[in-house]
Amino acid sequence: MADLKCSRLAKSYGNRAVLTDIDLDVPEGTLTAILGASGSGKTTLLRLVIGFIAADAGMISVGGTVVADAGRVQVPPDKRAIGYVAQEGALFPHLTVAGNVAFGLPRNERRGAARVAETLDLVGLPRDYAERRPHQLSGGEQRRVALARALAPRPRLVLLDEPFSGLDAALRAETREAVLNALAGEGTTAVLVTHDQSEALSMGREVAVLRDGRLVQTASPAVLYRDPVDLEVAHFVGDAVVLAGTVRSGDVECALGTLATRIAVADGDVRVMIRPEQIRFAPGADAEVLDHSYRGPDTIVHLALRNDERTPVELRTFDQEVPGRGELVGLTVVGPVTVYPA
């Protein structure tokens, strides 16, 4: 197992810069999720690290060994010992599950079934799956085999490219769990690429947000969610209510009252970011209920503030009884809020 370090990576196709100045450190034995919208350069970054393409500038090292240094070093993908789980799995259709899993093992180990059985256990598949063909497996099982195949040769690092895309919600959660367990079991350093914020937040020890080819923020999931670097990231990682406000002696005054800020800021006009679950019902008549979207465990309530009707406000509640449309409700905000320059 080894850590991954990328410094000042850049890649462009023709005049179009796909990645600019990427600095990324993935500590040994941890999983970092790279979160980005489609077209943000996620897959290009993965392909640079594996070595399918060469960077225009910058350096990549795994476990202290430089595997790519633009213009000087370019270790071919097969010599990097980096595991790769492609989108949709990409299992070899002409081989059995065992044949797939054993593919990357040295010739003398391929015959023995020991490592195959071990890795199948690791990803939570029954051992008798070994003789099945890829097309006999469900989508989730195919992803697990793809992971087992990547883990079998004991790579220094595993890269997962949208490994859960196309799976339904229940299967997704189950497969996610199996993947995390398998990675933890081997203590493998891993990088997961995804456009799904809940997947990134729940799986990564750290989450790196990629936007227009730049890493705009790399932080733990909690910091990223509560204290995003700008409003765009705030909206990207979750729902957000944004109000105009003014900071006076440390606290911020806005349509929802005077609130504590997470980080001390200088006095002046700001924009206030509040997560919908921070807003709670309270006695009073601050806002009118416009509508609700029922989502099962929780409900999103859309509100119009009486002192600022133009700004949409959402409240997330776990109450089963929710005030009806047109009712007037009081609001309060729990916990500190994040502010950005106006």
Interface residues toward another protein, by CB under 8 A? 50-52, 76-84, 86-88, 90, 92-94, 103-104, 133-135, 146, 149-150, 153, 159, 166
Query: What is the smallest separation between the CB atom of 131 and another protein, expressed in angstroms?
Result: 16
Which CB, 150 or 247, lies closer to another protein? 150
Helical (H) or strand (E) element with 300 = strand 299-305
Shortest distance (Å) from residue 91 CB to another protein = 8
Q: How far is the CB of 342 from another protein (least distance, A)?
A: 41
- Closer residue to another protein (CB): 92 or 257: 92
Closer to another protein by Cβ: residue 168 or 321: 168
**Shorter beta-carbon distance to another protein: residue 78 or 239:** 78
135 vs 310, which CB is nearer to another protein?
A: 135
Angle at 95 between CA 94 and CA 98, to 5 degrees: 170
Q: What is the smallest separation between the CB atom of 103 and another protein, expressed in angstroms?
A: 5
Whether the CB-CB separation of 279 and 333 falls below 8 Å is answered with yes
Coil, helix or strand at residue 141: helix
Give the CA dihedral 221, 226, 229, 235, nearest 10 degrees.
Answer: 90
d(CA 54, CA 21): 15
Nearest approach in angstroms of CB 90 to another protein is 4
164 CB contacts (<8 Å, ≥6 apart)? 143, 172, 175, 176, 194, 196, 199
CA distances to 25, 32, 166 from 221, in Å: 16, 10, 24
CA–CA separation, 42 and 136 (whole Å): 31
Structure tokens at 240: 């957000």
CA distance 23 to 213: 12
Q: Give the residue with the Cβ less far from another protein, 75 or 265.
A: 75
Q: Tell me the two tokens of residue 270.
A: 């700001």
Q: Quick one: 148 or 313, whose CB is closer to another protein?
A: 148
271: DSSP letter: E
Q: How far is the CB of 172 from another protein (least distance, A)?
A: 16
CA 235 to chain centre: 14
19 versus 85: smaller Cβ distance to another protein: 85
CB of 166 to another protein, least distance (A): 7
Nearest-angstrom CA–CA distance, 91 and 94: 9
Encoding tokens for residue 33? 């999720």
Q: Shortest gap between Cβ of 95 and another protein (angstroms)?
A: 8
Only one residue has tokens 């002192």, namely: 307
Specify the residue for token string 């600022």: 308
Can you read off the two tokens belonging to residue 140?
A: 């989730």
- Residue with smaller CB distance to another protein, 61 or 87: 87
Q: How far is the CB of 69 from another protein (least distance, A)?
A: 20
